[in-house]
Amino acid sequence: MGRTLSTRLIETVLTLVLMSIAVYLLIGLMPGDPINMMIAGDPKMTSEDATRLRALYEVDKPILQRYLAWAGQALQGNLGYSRSFSLPVMTVIWPRLLNTFELTGLSLLLSVAIALPLGIWAAARPRSTADYLINLFSFAGISTPPFWLALLAIWLFAVTLGWLPAGGTADLRPGTGFGTALLQKLRFAALPVLTLTVLQIGSFTRFMRGAMIETMRQDYIRTARAKGLSERGVILGHAFGNALVPVLTLLGLSFGGLFSGALITETMFAWPGMGKAIYQAILDNDYNLALVGLLIATFTTILGNLLADLAQAWVDPRVALQ
């Protein structure tokens, strides 16, 4: 177990190094540099200004040299400055990371809490009306465009009913009590969380249903039933644990999304999260911010996979960690 974990750790570090090179080179190879964009927005800039700023921001140096300079600083704990925010990269990223975790974590929890019982319910009654309705709901969730669902939610709950804010985050002033602050935060999170939850429920439900149907066909389920166990006991005591293995893989893959954000939902609800930050950083040629954001997303995806492997081994002893 220890050896497996240390091997995975080395693999993770290597992947991150390779990813940092790939991302830095790819962003650097895209046409345009930050100074071009400054010129486009400021007709007063002269040719001398452009040359001076290219030297100051070191965009006149070869891309590999810039990457090595960044990597050298990063090893000393300095991840650089975000050019578009004029702040250290981690100062920009931390609050966004927390915002994204709040949004995607809540929606993942809700999706799993709703999807697993729905999947089990549908699997226990295949081809029943309930099964068809659950399948219909799942496919609707999978195939609905996020921006459309977000607009629908805004129109219904914010514009028409006026129950919830259309976007943004809670504006908490000094002296706001914990309870009020929590309620305000939940109020602002409600619509984006609802949107993401509806979008995610479908795939989790389908996975759970499929895995459960497959498991319910196994010999040991027949044996459990033959022993006189109740259907509830068979499903929860024998089938659920075994059916959970493929669902855990999906959950592991979703773990990366907890920190890399949900671009469309964040944009529609003006939610300052990682997805929007990374996307805008790439568009604005903000190398450092884009690079660190993508590395965090890579790291959490790898970590999610590792956690999924560990969880699979824990749930199903037949899965050995090699």
Partner 1 sequence: MFRRVLLVLAALCALTSPALAKDELVIAMNQAPGTMNPLISSMLAKSLVSNMTARPLTAYDVAWKNICMVCTDLPTIENGKARVVDLGDGKKGMALDIELKPLVWGDGVPVTAKDYAFTIEVGKNPVSGVASAEAYKRIVKFEIKDDLHFTMTVDRVTFDYNAIDLQIVPEHIEKPIFDANPAEYHNKTAYDTDPTNKGLYFGPFRITELVPGNRITLEANPTWIGEKPHFKRIVFKIIESTAALEANLLSSNVDYVVGELGMSLDQALAFEKRHKDKYVVIYKPALIYEHIDVKLDNPLLADRRVRQALLMAIDRKAMSEKLFEGKQPVADSGVSPLDPMYDPSGRKFAYDPGAAKKLLDEAGFSEIKNGVRQNAKGERFSIEITTTAGNRVREQVAQVIQSQLRQVGIELRIKAEPPRLFSDALNHRAFSGLAMYAWVSAPQSVPHSTLYSTEIPTEKNGWSGQNYPGYASPEMDKAMDSAERELDESKRRGYFADMQRIHAEDLPVLPLFFRVDPFVLPKQLKGVVPTGTLNSSTLWVEQWRWEE
Residue 86 in the binding site for partner 1 (CB under 8 A):
yes
Rounded least distance, CB 56 to partner 1, Å: 6
- For partner 1, the closer of residues 136 and 156 by Cβ is 156
Residue 165's CB is within 10 A of a number of other CB atoms, namely 20
Total residues contacting partner 1 by CB under 8 A comes to 64
Compute CA distances 262 → 54, 67, 247, 302, 311, whole Å.
Answer: 33, 28, 21, 18, 25
For partner 1, which residue of 2, 43, 62, 175 counts as binding (CB under 8 A)?
Answer: 43
Would you give the binding string for partner 1 spanning residues 259-288, x where CB under 8 A is met?
--------xxxx-x---xx--x--xxx---
Q: Is there binding between residue 87 and partner 1 (CB under 8 A)?
A: yes
Contact letters (x/-) for partner 1, 94-113, by CB under 8 A?
-xx-----------------
What are the residue ranges of helices labelled H in 125-170?
129-143, 146-153
For 278, the token pair is 């990374």
Q: Match 């002296």 to its residue by tokens.
A: 175
Options 63, 186, 303, 319; binder of partner 1; rule CB under 8 A:
186
User: Looking at beta carbons only, is 34 or 233 nearer to partner 1?
Assistant: 34
Please name the helix (run of DSSP H) or strand (run of DSSP E) that holds residue 38, with its range, or none. Answer: helix 34-41
Among 50, 90, 114, 307, binds partner 1 (CB under 8 A): 50
Q: Which is nearer to partner 1, 267 or 312 (CB)?
A: 267
For partner 1, the binding residue among 74, 158, 213, 221 (CB under 8 A) is 158
Nearer to partner 1, 5 or 56 (CB): 56
Quote the least distance from Cβ 54 to partner 1, whole Å: 8
Cα 61–chain centre separation: 34
Nearest to 255 by CA among 189, 308, 202: 308
CB-based contact 254:301 (threshold 8 Å): no
Which amino acid does the sequence have at 80? G
Shortest distance (Å) from residue 161 CB to partner 1: 8
DSSP 3-state assignment of 82?
A: strand
Element containing residue 7 per DSSP (H, E): helix 2-29
Nearest to 36 by CA among 57, 50, 46: 50
CB atoms within 10 A of CB 163: 11
Question: Using CB under 8 A, which residues numbered 135 to 154 contact partner 1?
Answer: 151, 154
Taking the least distance from each CB to partner 1, the nearer of 185 and 225 is: 185
Distance of CA 224 to the CA centre of its chain: 39
Give the footprint of partner 1 on this chain (CB under 8 A): 30-33, 36-54, 56, 81, 83-87, 92, 95-96, 151, 154-155, 158-159, 162-169, 171, 180, 183-184, 186-187, 190, 267-270, 272, 276-277, 280, 283-285
